[in-house]
Each structure stands twice: as structure tokens, then as C-alpha cells.
Chains A and B, each alone.
Chain A
């Protein structure tokens, strides 16, 4: 079907490419002590892009009969922008493991045991536990009229756990999740469960809020407020439109020299791993920030064409949309401090684990002011209790410039690996 569609497209267009994706996901939900729901989601679809009359068009369908797809894409091209799109040519694929047979064939019973095990280990009096287990098996095929025809299989497993403790009108919520290509190992489960129980223990006591410009240790989940703006700011398209706040008067701003950020699609078994992107560009590592200096922005085919640069292999396609540049796996280089030693550097400060409303508001500007969801007070290097309320505010880019120390453990949460970060002079009110 794919070959025929591309052949028909080739006859009527200057260039065409397509991505075919299919997968089947099994989802198990545990709630209040046992398996509560089981669901299967089967999805497949084709996204076709054409260049006709110098203009780009695209279309998508989940119909088994993709017959109208070419006509839909041509109609889209008829009103599309003129574009210089250079399709990639075939190249050998780099080695990266994206499919783990053990995960792909795991039975419902095995996956249910996994979820029940996590659930049972978290169960405590006065706490409501929810756990989800998801396993997905699928394949991706990418082909174009320049001769690329590549495919790979994917497996993925993700675990989510939530503990809610309600005392009177006080609600404490602790969440964590894990995702990988293979079934989780003991260390992964230990990290997930241990992390939640550690936070619960920290929250056993409450502590008075602190105010002022303080040393703040962001946990990997707390650090989202600092890292999320970079997702938008490091887009080649933002640079092209002159709206990337990383460029001020033609020069890139710098961060703390301990801060390095890499996009790495070639790590075995991570959620964003792939040998080739959805536009047929083979994958490679991209150094985004090296020792505080911005190195590269990310480009898909179209933004690279407009910017007159090479695509970086970050094209991502859904079935219905237009290809967009998106990160694969983001890795913040870890530091040298164990977590207790990192906290030991704080005489009086705050450990921020989760903020409300991260990602709302004017993300790309980097400025944020978010209410604390879970945070803990640190005195003389020890967590002394949970801070019930308060606001953490600042500019993400400035704060990334004020990182003093990074933790040595950078756990994987989904497709990001981030260590704990100690930042000086964070406004807490």
C-alpha cells in the first residue's frame, strides 16, 4: 500500500514523502488495591507530504483505504506556501535498540503483576494509590521519492504512580513516572517506589515557609520549570523568526559552565530513541548547550530549508499534522555530588519537587511564577518538613546561569535525564 501510494505520488508531484505508523497499546489501571481497568488501543495511519508546483501540501488518514489521501495532499499543496524542500537520500541507519522482544511479548498477567507489585509496595494507611502500566508495540516506516525506505520496530513500557494523602482539608499528592523500551529492572522500580516513599517521609512534618532570595535545590521533576522554556527557545524556527530569547542583539546568552544539554536519539531503549527521524533524516546526537554555551538549534526539513542550514534529524510527524521539529531524548549532564552532599551545601533553603501550572503562560520568555505543589524546607543540609504554600518565581534562563552544583544521579523520567540542580538566589515568596 505504501509503495503504491508513493509511486502514484511520484507521478504527479516533484517530491513526496510519507510516514506510516502503527502500534498497539495495552493499558492497565490499578486503583484502590487492585486492577481496575484494562484497555487496548490499536492505531495506524499514514501522513503524506507532497511538493507540487513548488508548493507544499500534506494530508493524513486513519482509513484503511488511503485512496483519497493523494488528492487531499494535492489540494493542500494548491494553496500551500512555496518551499525549497530537499528530501534526504538513503543512508545507512545508525545502531540503536528500539524494540525489546521481552517487553513486546509480555503477557497481560506479567504486566498486571508489575503494576500490582508497585501498588502493594506503596500502600499505606490514609493514602490513596493509583498505578498505571502501559505497554506499546509498533512500527514506523519512512519513505520518500528520493529513495529512502526505512523502518524500525518499537516497544515501550511506562509506569505511572500517584499517592494522595488527605488530612482534613490538606491534600498531599506525590507522583512519579518511568518509561523505557524494555521492561523495568529492579533499579528502575526501586527508584520509582523509593522516590515516592522518600517524599512521603519528608512530608510527614510541615515546616514554616521561607521567603526571599534563597538557595533552591530543584529535583528532576522540579527542574521542569527551568528546562521547559528551552524546548521552545532551542527551536531553529524560533531563531528564524527572531523570537528565540537565547539570542540577544545577535549573540547567544550563556548559562552556568556546569550546564550541558544534549539531544540523543541513539541511546538504547529510551522513549525518544530512533535510528531515523520521521522525515527520513538519519539520527545523530546534537549538542545543544556545552558548558554553558549554546551550540545548536534543532531543525526539521522545512525550517532547515528556510534557514539555509542542514536538518538536524528532529522531524516528527503525527498522522494528521504537518512535520514539526521536536526533541528525542534530552540529557542534562550530571555533576559530581550525591544527593545528600548536594543538600549538605544548603544552610537554609528549599527543595522544590513540583510546581503548579508549569508550562502555562508566556513559556518562551522564560519568566515564571508558580505556586508550590510540593516543596520542602532544608536546614543545615537536612530536610526538616514540607512547605504547604508559596510561590517560586524567576527567569528560567537567568536561573540556568546561576546553577552552582549538579547532582551525580540523573534519573530518566520519560525521555529526559536530569540531575538535581542547586541554584542560588531563587525568589521564594
Chain B
């Protein structure tokens, strides 16, 4: 394959050419209620070629199959000539690399039969159904994937990787009279069969939560002091700071650039935030991004001051900074764009109890059902929560919607606990039509002095 890639690159008439090829083996098993929805495997093969010449823009072609590489290169070059630019695209310099990285497959899923995968999920699904007779429906899913990955570019870089991904997800639906509630849990790892053998607790938790939420009240909409658990704090940092740190959002937009000026104060000194694609063994970790740049730990906010952002080779050159290894594509169907990897809030001090102390009446928000962001506006939904009364956790409450302005919200972070943990969930991040991208988030508990809270969904 290396020779075919090298030949195709040599055939290109463009100034810069890159090719990615992927061959994926995928398995999916799904249960709904006590019924198996399906257990199946698939093969996905294809490639992506991107070309660029001085004075012209990017031309990109993606295709199924791994043949006709020369023709695809010619096509991408032709498309690139349709895009004329006054300001030429420059790519930050990067030394050429040749590497072969085979991640630890931790029990290669390709060697496990479909029947074994189906039996594993059947057992986990039964765990949910057995929790309570009011669990009227469940959705349990197992997915695995092993991707053989080749990357080559005209700078002389040539990479081969073996990338595994396994996810389990649990949705339990509880119904009593007219009330319907859901409990959700998931796990996603860059691993294999062995990494998902002890997940029974996860499935029971989803079902128990759905039952508990049946009788839980809603939070009255209003403004409260709020404590976020590490999962939701992780989503906050991903949605609010992570996405605003993606340089493609700011490179072309003078106002956004002004908003994200390096040195700007972001909240209190307690806040340190980063994105680390090189962290060992996390779902968002990779040795190289999809432009062949090695991944790294990039500090974004240090003690409340903006110190960095995330780059592709193109945005790095445009802003005279260094590439950070954050150019990622969901698959060969897409061009790499600036994306997050493993985004985190660094550890502070103290415990959850320390954060609760001093809150007479507030809300403890846990877990995340989803989130979205646009520039400095963000909104996300917690999975469940508790009222805080007189410094202690009180009754469970239904899911809560939090929304606000990034700057104002970060200003209100008044405590960061010392109980950091990484959250590795299934699903993934979406941007520019590319979803789901495997990412992870990490944070300790954090406290916000004041947040607008919607009555919940």
C-alpha cells in the first residue's frame, strides 16, 4: 500500500497533496426491550485526497474503494483550480515522518464471534430490565470498530496506524401512569473486547436512575448557585471553551478573534484548561492527527488567562502559531478540520462537600444528555440533578437545561475541587456535519456562583 500511495502522490501536479485511506471492520449489536434489534457486521473502505496549489484553494475528493488513486489525485487537483484565492493558503512547517503505530487492541474484536458479542449485550440488557417492573423499554447497544489507516503527503510523511474503538450504551425508559423518564449511561474506549467485560453496573445505574426520576420534581426555572459534577463540568469545558479555542472558528472572523485574544482574562485564577490528544489510553487520543501532526497537550487557559488555542497546519500558519495536532476527520468521507481531543479542567483543591458548604439553596447538576455551542453562546442539558439545601445534597430533580454566555459563566467559577477524573463516554462530538468524533473530557467538581437554569426536559 505504501508504494501505491507514494506513486499516487508522485503523480500529482499540485503543490501539496495528501491521501488518507481507511479500511474498517465494524460490528453493531442492539437490543430494544427484550428483543434483539440486530447483530451485524459491515465493511467500509475508502479514501480521501486533498490538493492545493499556490494561489488556489483546497480541492478535495472522497471515494469508496481503494483503487484509481491517480485519477482521484487528478480530480482533487482540478477542483482546487476552481478556487482562486488572493491570500495563498500556507501550511505550517512540519518535519516529514514515517511511522507505524499499532494501538494495543486489548483483545482484538475481529477475533470475537458475533454470537459472543450478542450474548454480552443480552446479559447487560437483562440487567436493566430486571431492575424494576416499571422499566417498560430499553435500548442497549454495542459497537466496535477496527480501522486500518494510511496517511501520506507530498512533504514525505507516510503513516500507518491501527485504530480500535469500542462503545457500549444503555438507555432505560421507565413509565408510571403518564410519566415517562429516561436513564442513560455509556462508555467508549480505544480498546477491545477485554475493555468492556465489566460493565454490568453501568447498565443497572441507567435503569435505577430512570426509576428514580419518575417521582423527582422539576427545578423551578431561575438563577441558582450551581455545582457541576465532573461529567457535566467536562461537557462545559468542551462546549464552552473547547469549541471557542478551535482556531478555524476565529482565524477568519475578526470579532471572534478579538473575543479570544491571547492574554484575555477568563474567569478566576482557579481555572486551568487544556486539550491533550497525546494522553495515554483515552478515547480522543491518537499519535497523529489527520494531517500527520503529532498530538500534544495544549494549555488553553492557565490560571484564568487565555494562553493558547487549537490548530491545524493551515490555521497555525495563518495565525503565526504552531500546529497542535488537532486537525481531525471523522472518516475518509471528510476533510480534516480543527477538532477537540481530550479536553479538561485541571485539578483544584478540596472535595465535593467543600463546594456544597456555603450554598444555602442551589442545584447540583450531573451528567450530560447533550450540548451545543455557537461562539460564546452555549446550552447543555444535564441528565439529572439534586437540590442543594443548607450545604447538603437534597432531593433528586429531573434533567436541567443550562445555558448562557461563556465569559459571564467562566467569571462565575468560584471553586474547583481536587477530584479530577476523565470521562470516557460513547457517542462523540459533532461539528460541520462530521459526527461522531471520538473525544474524552475530564474535570473535577466545579462551582458556579450563579447560572440561569431552565425547568428541564
Interface residues of A (CB under 8 A from B): 31-32, 34-45, 56-64, 68, 72-73, 75-76, 78-81, 108-109, 112, 128, 164, 166-167, 169, 171, 173, 241-243, 245, 248, 319-322, 356-357, 359-362, 364-365, 367-371, 373, 389, 391, 393, 429
Contacts and interface: CB of A to CB of B under 8 A. Distances in A.
Interface in B90-147: 114-115, 118, 136-137
B381 interface: yes
A243 B175 contact: yes
A248 B44 contact: no
Nearest to A167: B255
A75 B37 CA distance: 15
B15 interface: no
Contacts of B405: 169
B114 A320 contact: no
Interface stretch (B177-185, B288-296, B349-357): B177-185
Contact of A360 (B38, B59, B83, B457): B457
Interface in B29-60: 30, 32-33, 35-46, 57-60
B45 A63 contact: yes
5 contacts: A38-B58, A38-B60, A39-B61, A357-B371, A369-B454
B221 A243 contact: no
A428 B253 CA distance: 33
Nearest to B89: A36
Given A58-B40, A75-B41, A171-B377, A361 B399 contact: yes
Contacts of A63: 43, 45, 64-65
Given A173-B375, A361-B370, A373-B377, 4 more contacts: A63-B64, A72-B42, A360-B381, A360-B457
Interface of B is mostly: strand
Please list the 7 inter-chain residue pairs (A to B) with the smallest Cβ-Cβ separation, ordered nearest first: A361-B457, A166-B255, A371-B403, A360-B370, A356-B379, A369-B454, A39-B60
A180 B118 CA distance: 41
Contacts of B457: 360-362, 365, 367-369
A42 B115 contact: no
A41 B118 CA distance: 34
Contacts of B407: 169
B255 A80 contact: no
Contacts of B30: 322
Contacts of B33: 241
Most chain A CB within a 10 A radius of its CB, from B28, B41, B137, B380: B41
B429 to A, nearest CB: 14
Given A320-B42, A371-B454, A361 B60 contact: no
Interface string B366-383: 000111101111011100
Contacts of A166: 253, 255-256, 259, 375
Contacts of B376: 169, 171
A36 B372 CA distance: 25
